[in-house]
Structure 1
Amino acid sequence: MATFTADQTPASIVKTFPKASDLFKERRIDFCCGGDRPLKEVFREGDYDSETVLSDLNTAFQKWQKEDQEVTDWDAMPSSELIDHIVGEHHAYLKSELSPLGEFVTKIFRVHGKNHPHLKELHRIYNEFKIDMEEHMVTEENDVFPLIKEYEQNPSEALKQEIIDANGGLEDEHEAAGNLLKRMRVITNDFQPPAGACNSYRITYARLADLETDTFQHVHLENNVLFKQL
């Protein structure tokens, strides 16, 4: 069985073992925007027990392999199919979730903000994230993704450079969105509601955790697969 090492990057590990994303999220190890750095650099800069992280990672991977899981080979998927997957799954999820979840974030801030001051910051950060992602999806669907599909059919250096220039801005936006999600995780104590929290509070935190999961996978597919195919 393959064994992951500190010389590998979080992004490459998640491609092989998708559930590694859960372990990385729990430990606040970036596998999407900053996922191209070897784990040894992450361990060196952060307060991590590298042996424990690698042991947990490989133990989970070996268990997962025994369950005979199928893994989508994203690198082998044509750009156009990958784009359709991103739009049909991740963009569709955000379009249906951002506004309703925003109402929950506003509700718990209004009801509980006096006793839980961090909800004011959560409200501000969430709405910044919502606006950024809505604008980001428009840019991708209207401008960048059509260019990538055109390049797949009729490649040219000029078109490639146009896409690369556009992607630079998108990757910056991805990093900004990732930082907002990381901040939301910190101020919500890893999306753990306080003792005695009402149902709305619990639902909000659970949906924020789902939002983080989906967005990190979304960004991972764009930064570490789609944009690398050019």
Structure 2
Amino acid sequence: MKLFQMEDTPADIVKVYPKASDIFKQTNINFCCKGNIPLSEAIEKKKEAIDGDAFLKDLNSAYQTWHEEGNVEINWDEMSSTELISHIVERHHHYLKEELEPIGFFVTKIFKVHGDKHPFLKDLYKYYHMFKVDMEAHMQEEENDLFPLIEAYDQEKDDKLFQEIKELNTVMEQDHELAEEFLTAMHNITDGFTPPVDACGSFRTTYARLAELEKNTIQHVHLENNLLFKPFMH
């Protein structure tokens, strides 16, 4: 087992050790849309000071424990693009299709019931529904246009297909950045999805589902930006 170094990127670290995503999230280190820079640089870019050596030591200690517990890394590099697409659709697209509408109902409900006492719920309502519309259109374009092109390229390495995929990827990455902005706004508005002291059951359920949505979507974007799209970046 090779330990991580400061030269490794957050994106590559999460690729080997998925639970590192939780560590990066807690410290606001981006491993998703902007995760392809060395860890040392990512730490330097942070507004809040972090002891890099201590952070790396804790990261490697957690990784070793995870490994000793019998967890095994997925070798993403051995997975074909078609297999990766199946994983993304089953684990992430299906999740969003199941959750976006019900979460939207809860966000709307708490805004209507508690908006007078908690005015920030108006912005939560606004950002959530922009996120929902963006992701629904995004998934449709991926499944109808991008993914079939990548699967065709998996079978036949055609230069024209490569160029089409590369151009579409640029649009998809822009969508990802927008989705991340919406998630960040919702995260900040809700103090990290921490319910107010007087929160009712619906309030707490909404926040719990939003927290899970954030976690699933960040992993979703990571797999696409840093694995699926990567062969088409040159």
TM-score (norm 2): 0.95
Asked if the contact 1:6–1:54 (Cα under 8 Å) also holds between the matched residues in 2, the reply is yes
Aligned counterparts of 2:188 and 2:171: Cα–Cα separation in 1 = 26
State the 1:5 CA deviation. Answer: 2.5
State the 1:51 CA deviation. Answer: 3.2
Please point out which of 190, 207, 218 is paired with 1:216: 218
Aligned counterparts of 1:57 and 1:179: Cα–Cα separation in 2 = 26
Aligned counterparts of 1:30 and 1:224: Cα–Cα separation in 2 = 12
Aligned counterparts of 1:180 and 1:48: Cα–Cα separation in 2 = 25
Structure 1 residue matching 2:3: 3-state secondary structure: coil
Q: 1:94-109 to 2 correspondence within 5 Å?
A: 94-109=96-111
Are 2:180 and 1:161 equivalent residues in the alignment? no
State the 1:159 CA deviation. Answer: 1.0
Asked if the contact 2:187–2:193 (Cα under 8 Å) also holds between the matched residues in 1, the reply is yes
Are 2:27 and 1:27 equivalent residues in the alignment? yes
Aligned counterparts of 1:199 and 1:48: Cα–Cα separation in 2 = 37
Please point out which of 66, 69, 74 is paired with 1:67: 69
**Residue of structure 2 in register with 1:14 after alignment:** 14
State the 1:160 CA deviation. Answer: 0.2
Closer, same or farther in 2 for the Cα pair 1:109/1:219, shift >3 Å?
same
Aligned length: 230
Asked if the contact 2:81–2:154 (Cα under 8 Å) also holds between the matched residues in 1, the reply is yes
Which stretches in structure 1 are left out of the alignment for 5+ residues? none
Asked if the contact 1:191–1:209 (Cα under 8 Å) also holds between the matched residues in 2, the reply is yes
**Residue of structure 2 in register with 1:5 after alignment:** 5
State the 1:161 CA deviation. Answer: 0.6
Asked if the contact 1:79–1:229 (Cα under 8 Å) also holds between the matched residues in 2, the reply is no
Aligned counterparts of 1:183 and 1:36: Cα–Cα separation in 2 = 22
State the 1:45 CA deviation. Answer: 1.7
Closer, same or farther in 2 for the Cα pair 1:201/1:224, shift >3 Å?
same
Aligned counterparts of 1:6 and 1:108: Cα–Cα separation in 2 = 43
Q: 1:1-230 to 2 correspondence within 5 Å?
A: 1-46=1-46, 47-49=48-50, 50-230=52-232
State the 1:48 CA deviation. Answer: 3.1
| Matched AA of 2:73 | V
Asked if the contact 1:11–1:31 (Cα under 8 Å) also holds between the matched residues in 2, the reply is yes
Asked if the contact 2:29–2:43 (Cα under 8 Å) also holds between the matched residues in 1, the reply is no
Aligned counterparts of 1:134 and 1:5: Cα–Cα separation in 2 = 38
Which stretches in structure 2 are left out of the alignment for 5+ residues? none
Structure 1 residue matching 2:229: 3-state secondary structure: helix
- Identify which range, 90-99 or 181-190, moves more after superposition: 181-190
Structure 2 residue matching 1:2: 3-state secondary structure: coil
Aligned counterparts of 1:229 and 1:95: Cα–Cα separation in 2 = 27
Aligned counterparts of 2:59 and 2:185: Cα–Cα separation in 1 = 24
The list of structure 1 runs, each at least 4 consecutive aligned residues, that deviate by more than 3 angstroms after superposition, is none
- Identify which range, 139-148 or 31-40, moves more after superposition: 31-40
- RMSD (Å) for aligned C-alpha atoms: 1.2
| Matched AA of 2:28 | R
Aligned counterparts of 1:53 and 1:195: Cα–Cα separation in 2 = 32
Aligned counterparts of 2:182 and 2:210: Cα–Cα separation in 1 = 12
Asked if the contact 2:5–2:56 (Cα under 8 Å) also holds between the matched residues in 1, the reply is yes
TM-score (norm 1): 0.96
Aligned counterparts of 1:75 and 1:129: Cα–Cα separation in 2 = 30
